[in-house]
Amino acid sequence: MGKISNANFEILEKIVDTLVIDVFEMLNRGTSGVFYLPEETGEIPIYIIGEGVNDLTLEFEVIHDKTIVKPEVDGEYVPNEGVVVLQVVYNPNENIKEVIEEITPEIYEILTHEVVHFLQEEAGFEFPEKEPKKSVKYYKQKHEIEAQVKGFERQSKVTKKEIEKVMKAWFEKYPNKHNLKPKEVDKVIKILLKHYAGTKSDS
């Protein structure tokens, strides 16, 4: 299994790098709330991607939670609106520099994942009106596979760890998000690795 959509991934890394810079700037302020980027950090209200591509907005929510030990990162893409949502939850009693260092790989992963959905839509992909109720079916959707692999590939690059280890670490950290049984996790990871191998052979 190689490329699934006709999305232009040549601009993917550049977009994500731009978003990450603004996310770090907001985190370093140490404040909680919902922020709309790049308007919050600059003079323009939207990210102007380039000719032939619609503009993008990042809705960034920072939550302070004194009860958690490990910071958490989550996100989503809002179809038809050009909005990537990123959520970071961390304990405000922890050193923000250390928090940022810990979650940097995850931020790259989730932003890459969601920007892939943005680029899929830009290429004409229409997201299903209703998501599958069963988690395993959700993660086996072709557009999700493509986004997951791109996200984990970027995280692997940032951490210099094998992509399979990166995948396993995410599924181990967030069982409350994926709601998959251990055997289903193994099945999904196998599918992701097969797709990843396909993209490498096509390149």
The domain in which residue 150 lies consists of: 135-202
Together in a domain, 118 and 140? no
Together in a domain, 110 and 30? yes
Together in a domain, 116 and 148? no
Spatial separation of the C-alpha atoms in residues 146 and 8, rounded to whole Å: 13
Tokens representing residue 22 in the block: 């603004």
Exposed/middle/buried for residue 78 (C-beta within 10 Å: 0-12, 13-18, 19+):
middle
Q: Among 177, 148, 179, 176, which Cα is nearest to 164's?
A: 148
pLDDT single digits (tens) 7-34? 788 899 999 999 999 999 999 999 999 9
Contacts of 193 (CB under 8 A, 6+ apart): 163, 164, 167
pLDDT surpassing 50 at residue 115: yes
SS (H, E, C) 87-109: EEEECCCCCHHHHHHHHHHHHHH
Q: Which of residues 101, 122, 143 is at a domain's end?
A: 122
Spatial separation of the C-alpha atoms in residues 134 and 149, rounded to whole Å: 20
Q: Determine, yes or no, domain membership for 4.
A: no
Q: What's the number of domains the chain is made of?
A: 2
Together in a domain, 156 and 180? yes
Together in a domain, 14 and 50? yes
- Quote the pLDDT of residue 49: 77
Q: Which of residues 122, 152, 186 is at a domain's end?
A: 122
pTM of the entire structure? 0.93
pLDDT single digits (tens) 42-99? 767 777 777 667 889 999 999 999 999 999 999 999 999 999 999 999 999 999 999 9
